[in-house]
């Protein structure tokens, strides 16, 4: 799995990292049971500080994407029951769909875009 950090982005590095790992899990680039690089290795590879990686891993753990083992490292272990994901998604979608309505994107168009992204992610499963 390739991690690309945009250092000019307005998004924090640990957020970018967290998002890319979530996308990596969704697209099955990394699968359940597999492990991520250690915080030190990944930090060195990207060229950032260890604590920044650790912050991303901690968030992913708290959100139910990872299990962190002091001896084995970071292992993908999905816990769908961690929180109400449907409610969270609805909250996130609220702003995006409001933008879409203002830009005259129809509900049908949104459905098409959703399908497109789903197909992109589910391609190789």
Partner DNA sequence: GACTATGTTATATTTTAAGTATAACAGCTA
Partner DNA sequence: TAGCTGTTATACTTAAAATATAACATAGTC
Q: Is 1 in the site for a second copy (CB under 8 A)?
A: no
Q: Which residues in the 38-77 window bind DNA by CB under 7 A?
A: 38-41, 48-52, 54-55, 57-58, 61, 68-74
Give the span between the Cα atoms of 79 and 67, in whole angstroms.
Answer: 10
The option from DNA, a second copy, none interacting with 74 (CB < 5 to 8 A, set by class) reads DNA
Contact call for residues 55 and 39 (beta carbons, < 8 A): no
Q: How far apart are CA 58 and CA 122, in angstroms?
A: 26
* Min separation Cβ 93 and DNA, Å: 22
Contacts of 27 (CB under 8 A, 6+ apart): 120, 121, 122, 123, 124
- Mark 4-43 with x for binding to DNA (rule: CB under 7 A) and - for no binding: ------x-xxxx--------------------xxxxxx--
DSSP assignment of 51-110 equals HHHHHHHHHHHHTTSEEEETTTEEEE---TTSS-HHHHHHHHHHHHHHHHHHTT--HHHH
Residues found near DNA in the complex (CB under 7 A): 10, 12-15, 36-41, 48-52, 54-55, 57-58, 61, 68-74
Residues found near a second copy in the complex (CB under 8 A): 19, 22-23, 25-27, 65, 78, 80, 82, 85-86, 88-90, 92-105, 107, 109-111, 113-118, 121-122
């Amino acid at each position: 799995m390739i991690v690309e950090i945009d250092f000019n982005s307005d998004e924090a590095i640990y957020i970018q990292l967290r998002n890319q790992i979530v996308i990596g899990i969704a697209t099955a680039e990394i699968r359940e049971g597999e492990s991520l690089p250690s915080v030190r290795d990944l930090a060195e590879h990207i060229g950032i500080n260890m604590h920044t990686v650790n912050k991303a891993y901690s968030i992913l753990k708290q959100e139910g994407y990872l299990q962190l083992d002091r001896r084995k490292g970071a292992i993908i272990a999905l816990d769908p029951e961690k929180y109400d994901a449907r409610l969270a998604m609805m909250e996130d979608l609220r702003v995006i769909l409001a933008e879409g309505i203002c830009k005259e994107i129809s509900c049908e168009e949104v459905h098409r875009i959703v399908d497109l992204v789903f197909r992109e992610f589910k391609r190789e499963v």
